[in-house]
Amino acid sequence: MIEALEQPVTAVNSFTKKQNLTRLIKREALHLGFDYCGIARADFQDNEKGKLENWLNNGFHGSMHYMARNPERRVDPQQLLPGAKSVISVLLNYYSSRKQSDPAAPKISKYAFGTDYHIVMIERLEHLLSVMREHVPGLEGKICVDSAPVMEKTWAQRSGLGWIGKNTNLINKEKGSFFFIGEIITNAELEYDRPLQDYCGTCTRCIDACPTQAIIAPYILDARKCISYLTIELKEEKMPPEFQDKMNGWVFGCDICQDVCPWNHFASEHNVPEFDPKTELMNMNRQEWEDLTEGKFNELCSDSPMQRAKYKGIRRNIATILQKEPG
């Protein structure tokens, strides 16, 4: 009789540990200011492997050559953390209703209004991982915030935090898509959430609104045509001529496909002080952008996502908008 009871008791204890640790992680994530936290089993993403290969084979990644390096690592968490059992995904809202003061000024994406999200997200995830390790000796974890080959939107979708919309952004049913995504891959076995169904329906507003027709089909983005790619990732001295008249005033990033999404009617102001819009940046007028020097750029954007485009890239984008030679 004792032998017959040992396995069920062990199973109950194991379940209780998973349940308690899962609750602890989600509670601490919310305490740290994350808006949502979900968890998925860290298994091989066979379906995503084919999609990624097709996307890369079509050259849709453009000059982002890092996307094509070791693509198998993007679909297999074991490649990043041997023994991985769970992927914890978190969302952090960055939405702001504030507008730039001069309607004629070059436009920057909402996600670049404040401090670089890498700094904010990594600090909070490091704290979350530290708490996990305090409760589970020997626990291993790898933090990912655009810092590793991870398909972040796919993991967030598998964790029940939203669905991947036709514009290829993750959409949360309660608050839209203005979120940063981060992960912790861990060897801890946890309780797993269910994926959320797609609620885009027949809507095509994001596809119809894109000035460069970068969303070539529902759920397929040709990054080479995307204004965000063109203003940030593309390192050419001049903007490709076919896009020079289609930038819609954007100098860094683009929010068009998110601004027109009906689900972003539910977007609410973020609660992260670091993401508060920088007043001087928001108050720059068109002439000040045109006269922007490298010194002023570094002063304004020392801890901004805009550093990714570098001063040279920003100058090129400004010249494109103003229809002038880069200088």
Q: Which residues are catalytic?
A: 146
Q: How many helices (H) and strands (E) does the chain have?
A: 12, 10
Closest CA to 124 of 251, 230, 31: 31
Query: What span, in angstroms and rounded, lies between the C-alpha atoms of 305 and 313?
Result: 13
Q: How many alpha carbons fall within 13 Å on the CB side of residue 123? A: 10
What does 28-88 look like in DSSP terms, one character per residue? HHHHTT-SEEEEEE----HHHHHHHHHHHHTTTTTT-GGGGSSTHHHH-GGGTSTT--EEE
CA 32 to chain centre: 18
The contacts of residue 221 (CB under 8 Å, 6+ apart) are: 60, 167, 168, 214, 215
Query: What span, in angstroms and rounded, lies between the C-alpha atoms of 32 and 81?
Result: 24
Query: What span, in angstroms and rounded, lies between the C-alpha atoms of 69 and 171?
Result: 28
